[in-house]
Amino acid sequence: MRRSISYVLVLAGAVVMLLPFAAALGNSLKSFAQYIQVPPVWLPDPVQWDNYAEVWRRTPFGLYLANSLLIAVLAVAGNVVTSATVGHALARMRLPGKQALLTMALGTMMLPTVITIVPNFLLFRSLGWLDTLLPLIVPYWLATPIGIFLMRQTFLAIPKDFEEAASLDGANPWQVFWRVHVPLAKPALATLAVFTFTTSWKAVLEPVIYLTSPENYTLPVGVLSLKGQFVGNDQLVTAAAMMSLLPMLVVFVLAQRYFVRGTMSAGLKG
């Protein structure tokens, strides 16, 4: 009885989650006339697959995609490497002021980011980084609090025997980290990677503030800018939006268990 109530609830919820996507997908396959038709038609007729090709023909979609991918890949690489080294220092190394650093990392997780908007803009401006992709990448190369916590927790759980054996063999701390601990932490690294990818891929605020030339736009700001250019062609902008989700969905489907694991660890650490 309770089980069937749960089932109905969860099923209804899933429909509410996915139906709007289906409707938007339908919109992206309509002609403009059908897009604005009242009362609305649910299924596009005929299905205009060409809308998607038209986005590629008439907009710099490929460029936006390339920018988003470049930023995401570099952000992931940077955050995974630096969060791992910092987490390792906090978990397994003789770091002076370890406790203070840990407390500060916790504090910055609770720190309202609104305070950083103006000063970071001025900082990157003084570095000459405005209208480049650097402000969207470099902060990830300085480790993120959530990544540090995740990696610290992971490295704490690895038994000491491994590194002791390696140290006896004359391995230096980098070799212990890179050859012994990192291979054992792969699931956590993958979790951090998908998390960083998602954060970078979804970002709107930072690209809006830092990027001015259309050739530097990422997918979210690029698609947003199409809205003004394609008045009377909203079906094309909807198609572009749907397409911008596709790489993210591919990552999500391939790495689903890491998403769930990452969310859980993000919540449990604190």
Partner 1 sequence: MTVLTRGTERTAAQEQPSARRRNARERAWAVAFASPYLLHLVALTAWPVLASLFFSMTEYDLMSPPRFVGFGNFARLFGDETFWRTLGNTAYFAVLFVPTQTALALLLAIALNQRLRGMALFRAAYFVPVVSSWVVVAYVADAVFNPQTGIANQVLGLAGLPAENWLQDPVLVIPTLAAVAVWKGVGYMMVLFLAGLQAIPEERYEAAKIDGASAWSRFRYVTLPGISGTTFLVLVLTSIETLQSFEQVYVMTDGGPHGASELTVLYLYRQGFQFFQMGYASAVAWVLFVLVLALTLVQFRLQRRWVHYA
Comparing CB distances to partner 1, the nearer of 10 and 66 is: 10
Can you tell me the distance from the alpha carbon of 187 to that of 156, in angstroms, rounded to the nearest whole number?
Answer: 14
The least distance separating partner 1 from the CB of residue 224, rounded to whole angstroms, comes to 5
> Per CB under 8 A, which of residues 216..255 are in contact with partner 1?
219-221, 223-224, 237-238, 241-242, 244-245, 248-249, 252-253
> Per CB under 8 A, which of residues 159..218 are in contact with partner 1?
172-174, 177, 198, 201-205, 208-209
> Per CB under 8 A, which of residues 41..80 are in contact with partner 1?
none
Both structure tokens of 147: 């990544």
The amino acid at 198: T
> CB–CB of 243/61 below 8 Å?
yes
Q: Is 20 among the residues that bind partner 1 (CB under 8 A)?
A: yes
> Per CB under 8 A, which of residues 118..147 are in contact with partner 1?
118-123, 125, 139, 141-143
**Options 36-44, 47-55, 69-77, 178-186: segment touching partner 1 (CB under 8 A):** 36-44
The least distance separating partner 1 from the CB of residue 215, rounded to whole angstroms, comes to 18
The least distance separating partner 1 from the CB of residue 53, rounded to whole angstroms, comes to 19
Residue of 82, 80, 81, 78 whose CA lies nearest to 70? 78
Q: Where are the alpha helices (DSSP H) in 29-141?
A: 32-35, 50-58, 61-92, 98-110, 117-126, 134-137
Task: Give residues with Cβ within 8 angstroms of 76, minimum separation 6.
Answer: 140, 193, 196, 197, 200
Choose which of 10, 47, 53, 165 interacts with partner 1 (CB under 8 A). 10
The least distance separating partner 1 from the CB of residue 78, rounded to whole angstroms, comes to 9
CA distances, 54 to each of 43, 48, 233 (Å) = 20, 10, 11
Residue of 64, 17, 50 whose CA lies nearest to 235? 50
The least distance separating partner 1 from the CB of residue 88, rounded to whole angstroms, comes to 6
Choose which of 46, 49, 66, 108 interacts with partner 1 (CB under 8 A). 108
> CB–CB of 141/83 below 8 Å?
no
Choose which of 61, 88, 135, 188 interacts with partner 1 (CB under 8 A). 88
Can you tell me the distance from the alpha carbon of 259 to that of 44, in angstroms, rounded to the nearest whole number?
Answer: 34
The least distance separating partner 1 from the CB of residue 85, rounded to whole angstroms, comes to 4
Comparing CB distances to partner 1, the nearer of 190 and 245 is: 245
**HSE of 5, CA atoms in CB hemisphere, 13 A:** 2
Reduced to 3 states (helix: H, G, I; strand: E, B; else coil), residue 265 is helix
The least distance separating partner 1 from the CB of residue 46, rounded to whole angstroms, comes to 18
**HSE of 187, CA atoms in CB hemisphere, 13 A:** 13
Comparing CB distances to partner 1, the nearer of 20 and 187 is: 20
Choose which of 63, 70, 102, 184 interacts with partner 1 (CB under 8 A). 102
